[in-house]
Amino acid sequence: MEIASDLAGAFSVLSGQKLNLFVDKVDDGVGLTWGDAWKLTIDSALEHVAFFIPVLSPTFFTRPECLREFRTFLSVAARAEETRLVLPILFADISEVGQTDLVELARSLNWSDWTALRLGERHSAPWRQEINAMARRILKSLREIDLASTALDPGDGQTLEPAIDDRQGSEDQIATAEEAIVKIPDCLGKMTEVSREVGSSLRTGAEKIRGAESYAKRIVGYRSLAADLQPLLLTLESRVSEYATLVISSDPGIRNVIGMPAATDAVLDAVSKFAKATLTMADGWNEMISNSQELAGRSRDMRPTVALITQIGNEFSALREIAQRWLDLTGDRD
């Protein structure tokens, strides 16, 4: 990505050193792609410290892998008490994407607003100024948190003092998993309850719309349905966000527990149950997304609601890989 290469170049000019960073998409060899070493790094709770620069746009929030990795990196950075490692760039308007928790979190991290630069020239003065400002921000953060030895690649005989390894140990991970496992059943129950209410409202609303005597009354029906669904979906979005955080943060510890010879049947059964419930919810919401698309085509009043349904479905899809991995590790325990 142009941002990655320009930023790496500006940082090199300021510091004389190389910079490791992650962006959500690269095509010039300067970072890592989502499915590449970045994924392996995240799954091992960050082999080396690096800066993560999510380039925020509506497309970013429709990609399940982006959502999963964003939450994962934030979780790791939060445990290290170094959220300065995450430097969001607002590249396009995201006010209508839903995902209010992630949007507000990105905003709280003092995102850099590049919406005015998106349609400009790459090498314009404003573009260069923003690149230089972010490079200086990274350099300042490195100096403040003294992580230069892991985030920088010194050259020409330079030596740097080693940084303290603050990654979670295996027992730290297991302790995090224990805390999450206690909360997961309640969270699953609340999500299931609200999901059923959403499904019931959709069916009831669709029946009323089909029975309407005129197209004008059908439009009234669509508006009523959207109004009924909106509070339910916003509640569910919050529940799903909470659940996603629990699943992602507990994944390393749960995998450690599953691999322990002393792992009890009760623990394995519980993990298997969580995994199956997550996969079932993901399948159900994929079906709901498909069924709701037609509503968006019939009435513009339904489009914000359908967009929110899609966002929730994407959240579940982002957890599918973790859930399937748990199920594979625990085996069929029916």
pLDDT score at 107: 78
Same domain, 123 and 253: no
* Domain identity same for 279 and 210: yes
Residue 159 inside a domain? The answer is no
Domain contains 293: yes
Question: Given this model, what pLDDT does residue 218 score?
Answer: 93
Q: Say if CB 7 and CB 135 are below 8 A apart.
A: yes
Q: Does residue 163 belong to any structural domain of this protein?
A: no
DSSP 23: E
Residues 199 and 278 in one domain: yes
Domain endpoint, select from 107, 122, 153: 153
- Residue 225 three-state SS: helix
Count of the separate structural domains present in the chain: 2
State the burial class of residue 282 (Cβ atoms within 10 Å of its Cβ: 0-12, 13-18, 19+).
Answer: buried
DSSP 34: T
Nearest to 115 by CA among 90, 95, 88: 90
| Contact (Cβ atoms closer than 8 angstroms) between residue 219 and residue 257 | no
Clarify whether residues 143 and 199 are in a common domain.
no
Indicate whether 67 and 124 sit together in one domain: yes
Which of 98, 119, 153 is at the close of a domain?
A: 153
309 residue type, one letter: I
CATH number at residue 83: 3.40.50
Per-residue pLDDT tens over the stretch 289-316 = 888 888 888 998 998 888 888 878 888 8
Boundary residue ending a domain (153, 181, 209): 153
Pair (183, 142) in one structural domain: no
**Assigned domain for 33 exists:** yes
Residue at 233 is within a domain: yes
Return the sign of the alpha-carbon dihedral for residues 188, 189, 190, 191: positive
122 and 206 assigned to the same domain:
no
What integer pLDDT is reported at residue 20 of this predicted model? 63
- 203, 325: one domain: yes
Mark the ranges of the chain whose per-residue pLDDT is less than 70: 1, 20-50, 75-83, 98-100, 144-168, 332-334
Residue 82's pLDDT is 65
112-113 and 89-90: which strand pairing? parallel
- Give per-residue pLDDT as tens, 212-269: 989 999 999 999 999 999 899 888 888 888 888 888 878 888 888 888 877 778 888 8
Say whether both 256 and 126 belong to one domain. Answer: no
Residue 131 is assigned to a structural domain of this protein: yes
Which pLDDT score is estimated for 214?
93
Asked if residue 141 and residue 21 are part of one domain, the reply reads: yes
53 beta partners:
23
Q: Are residues 107 and 192 in the same domain?
A: no
pLDDT of residue 290: 85
Q: Which domain holds residue 278?
A: 170-330
Q: Are residues 67 and 187 in the same domain?
A: no
